Structure 1
Amino acid sequence: MSEKPRRKRNREARKQVHLDCREALASHIRRKTGYTIEPEKVRLNPTKSDVYAWNFLPEAAHLFAKCLSKHGVVACQQLKSGIGRSFEAVATRGQLQLGPSPTAPKSLPVPDSEGAPAQQSLASSCWMYEDGTGIAQRLEDASEIVTLRSEVSSLKELLANSRKKVESLERQLSHALATVSSHEASEFRSHLTLGQIAELVSELRRTDGDSY
C-alpha cells in the first residue's frame, strides 16, 4: 500500500521540478528577448517558426540534446542553475528586447525540429555580442585561455631549447678546460726538464773546474 503513494509523490515532485524549470526558462526568455512564451511551450531545440534560440557553451550542450519533457530531475536542476551562466536566450526576429539589445548573430543555425541533433545547436556557441557580457564574455575568456596555453607551450619549448644550448656550451667549456690543463701540465713538465738539464750542466762545470 505504501509503494503507490510514494510513486505518486515522486511523480508529483518530478512534475513540479519540470514546471519550475519551464517557468524559469520562460522568464529568462522574456527578460532577454521581450517575447512572452508560455512555460509549457518552452523548447530546448526551437523550430524555425519560434522567435528565440539558445546560445550555449559546449559544457551545456548535453542539456539541449533532447526535449525538455525527456529530462530528469537532475537535468532540470542543471538547466535552472545554468541560466545566464552556461546558456542564454537570444531573439531570432524583431527587436523586442527589454534589456540591452545584443547585435545580430553572425550566423543563426536553428534546428528544423525540437528533436533535432544537438550538433546543429552547437554552432550557436559561437555567437558574439558587442557589449561583451554574459556568454559572449565567457567565450572570449575561453579564447584568451587557449591563447595563453599556446604561449605557455611555446615558452616551454623555448626553455627546453635554451637548456640544451646551455648543456652544449657547458660540455664545450669542460672540454676546453681539460685541453688547457693538459697543455699547462705539458709546459710544466717541459720547464721542469729544462731546469734539471741546466742544473746538471752547472754541476758538470763545477766538477770540471775542481779537476783543474
Structure 2
Amino acid sequence: MSKSSNERRFKLRKQCREALAAHIYDRLRLVVAPERVRLQPRPEDGYAWSVARTNANLLKSSLSSGSTRLYQVICRELGHSLEAVNPQSLDTSQFDTGDLPEDFSEGIVDGSFAAEIRELKATNSRTEEELGRTRSRLDDCLRQNHTLRTEANELRHDIQMLGSQNKDLHDELVQKTMGIAGAIQTLSSLETERIEITPDTHGTQSSAIGMLSVAGEV
C-alpha cells in the first residue's frame, strides 16, 4: 500500500472515530475518546451499536484494521441505519417479536433492531403526514365539488323559473296582440258602416224638405 493511501486511510479512520465518539455523546451523553471507540464494545463501555440488517456487516470489522470504504460507509450510515444505544436496550427479552413479520426477527443484529425500527417509524411518520395532506386536499376538493353542485342546481332552478316566466309573458303578449288586432278590425268595421250610413241620411233629409215645400204651395 502506498504512502498516500496509508495517509488517506489514517485520515478517514480518524474522522470515523471522531464521528462515532460525537454520535455516542449526542445519543447517550457519554464521553468516549475517539481512539477508544469500538465497533464491538464491551458491556462496561456503556454503549452498544444497533444496526439495520442490511448493514450488519459493519459491526463485523475492526476500526483499527478497517478499509477506507468501511470508514466512509460508517460515516454515511451513522445516525440512520447505525446508531449508538444503551446496552440494556440490546436485551432481546425486551422485544416481543411473536407478532412481527419474519423479516423483522431476522433483522435483529446483536440482539437489537432499534435502528431498523427507527427507520420504519420515520418512514411511517412521513407516510402518515403525506396521507394527511392528501386527505386534506381531498376534503377541499369534495367541499368545492359540493359548492359547485349546489350553485349549478340553483342556476338550473333559476333558468327554469325564467323560462316559465318567459313563456307566460309570451302567451300574454300573444293574447294582447290578438285582442288589439280584433279591436282594430272592429273599429275598421264601425268606421265603414258610419261612412255608408252618412249619405243615406242626407238623401232622406232632402226628400222631407221637398215634400214640405210642395205642401206649402198647395
- Letter in structure 1 aligned against 2:133: V
Q: Are residues 141 and 13 of structure 1, via their aligned partners in 2, closer, same or farther at CA, if it must alter by over 3 Å? A: closer
Greater Rg over alpha carbons, structure: 2
Q: Are residues 196 and 156 of structure 1, via their aligned partners in 2, closer, same or farther at CA, if it must alter by over 3 Å? A: same
- Specify which of 32, 42, 58 is matched with residue 38 of structure 2: 42
| Mapping for residues 50-199 of structure 1, pairs under 5 Å | 51-54=46-49, 65-66=57-58, 67-69=60-62, 72-73=67-68, 76-77=71-72, 79-80=74-75, 86=80, 88-93=83-88, 107=94, 119-121=107-109, 123-125=113-115, 146-199=127-180
The two structures, once aligned, show a CA RMSD in angstroms of: 4.9
The superposition leaves residues 141-172 of structure 1 with CA deviations (integer Å, 9 ceiling, x where unpaired) of 88765554332111111112123223323432
The superposition leaves residues 123-152 of structure 1 with CA deviations (integer Å, 9 ceiling, x where unpaired) of 31388xxxxxxxx9x999887655543321
Q: Are residues 162 and 71 of structure 1, via their aligned partners in 2, closer, same or farther at CA, if it must alter by over 3 Å? A: farther
CA distance in 2, matches of 1:19, 1:68: 16
Percent identity between the two aligned chains: 14
CA distance in 2, matches of 1:202, 1:190: 18
- Specify which of 20, 24, 27 is matched with residue 25 of structure 1: 20
CA distance in 1, matches of 2:166, 2:71: 85
Moved over 4 A (4+): 26-31, 33-41, 46-51, 61-65, 68-72, 80-83, 85-88, 106-109, 138-147
SS at match of 2:108: helix
Report the CA distance between 1:19 and its aligned residue.
Answer: 4.6
Higher helix share: 2
- Letter in structure 2 aligned against 1:17: L
**Greater relative contact order, per chain length (Cα 8 Å cut-off, separation 6+):** 1
Number of residue pairs matched by the alignment: 177
CA distance in 1, matches of 2:24, 2:178: 107
The superposition leaves residues 22-62 of structure 1 with CA deviations (integer Å, 9 ceiling, x where unpaired) of 35535754783658689477116x68897522357x7xx86
Report the CA distance between 1:193 and its aligned residue.
Answer: 0.7
Q: Are residues 158 and 28 of structure 1, via their aligned partners in 2, closer, same or farther at CA, if it must alter by over 3 Å? A: closer
Q: Which runs of 5+ in 1 are unaligned?
A: 94-103, 110-116, 128-135
CA distance in 1, matches of 2:54, 2:68: 14
TM-score by length of 1: 0.55
CA distance in 2, matches of 1:65, 1:49: 23
